[in-house]
Amino acid sequence: MTKQERAVTTRRDLIRSAAVAFDRYGYAQATLSDISKQAGVSTGALHFHFANKAALAEAVEEDATEALRSVVREAYRSRESALQALTDASHGVLRLLRGNIVFRAGFQLNADFTWESGLDLRREWHTCVRRFVDEAAQEGALVDDVVPGDVTVTIMAVMTGYGLLGREEREWFSQRMLTGFWELLLPRIAAADTVDALVPGGGPVPPA
């Protein structure tokens, strides 16, 4: 490994360790010495990469935001309808909550009393959801008496809820739980001629 490759690896390890610490203790209680120890580097090496804990939290949020964008892009790219893309994107977000500690920590930092930053993962996700719902309305894929804003708000609340509840009981991150929600919602909101084609469990998982 060249010196530069090593630096990249160390930086990545530190972000991951920070995510583990934030996920476990919250921002205020996570300590730099825990983070450097977990990453297997000295606190000097940590400070070479990150000025302080806030800089680490920002890096976690940046990586989490990138992961979110990638899930949304993929759902959008392979979409057959806006409602299916929205369903797929929500499953993608849950998959990240389940398996990507940096994303999970970023999502939770967003709700952490003790941390505030300019980045806002939740606001970005909100914008994506609203865009998918508006597109579904434009496609004529929503039932007439459904208010698009109600759909957006419900999806935001549900996903926020899963994110929080899953912290204590991992079951809330399971695909089964979210599929149950879509099995309730899709037949209610999707126009009659589109509903049969929709897959509440989400489309095929893209290769990692």
- The CA angle 198-95-41, to the nearest 5 degrees, is 165
Q: Please, which residues bridge with residue 142 across strands?
A: 190
139 near a copy of itself, rule: CB under 8 A: no
Tokens standing for residue 124: 């970005």
137 near a copy of itself, rule: CB under 8 A: no
- In this chain, which stretch among 38-46, 56-64, 90-98, 146-154 interacts with a copy of itself, using CB under 8 A? 146-154
CA–CA dist 10, 126 (Å, integer): 33
Binding-residue pattern over the window 96 to 115 for a copy of itself, x denoting contact by CB under 8 A: ---------------xxxx-
Give the CA distances from residue 128 to residues 17, 175, 178, in Å, rounded to whole numbers and listed in that order.
29, 20, 18
181 near a copy of itself, rule: CB under 8 A: yes
156 near a copy of itself, rule: CB under 8 A: yes
Name the phi and psi angles at 144, rounded to 5: -55, -45
Closest contact distance (angstroms) between CB of 56 and a copy of itself is 16
Specify the amino acid at residue 194.
T
Q: How many residues bind a copy of itself (CB under 8 A)?
A: 36
Closest contact distance (angstroms) between CB of 5 and a copy of itself is 35
Given candidates 153, 191, 195, 199, which one binds a copy of itself under the rule CB under 8 A? 153
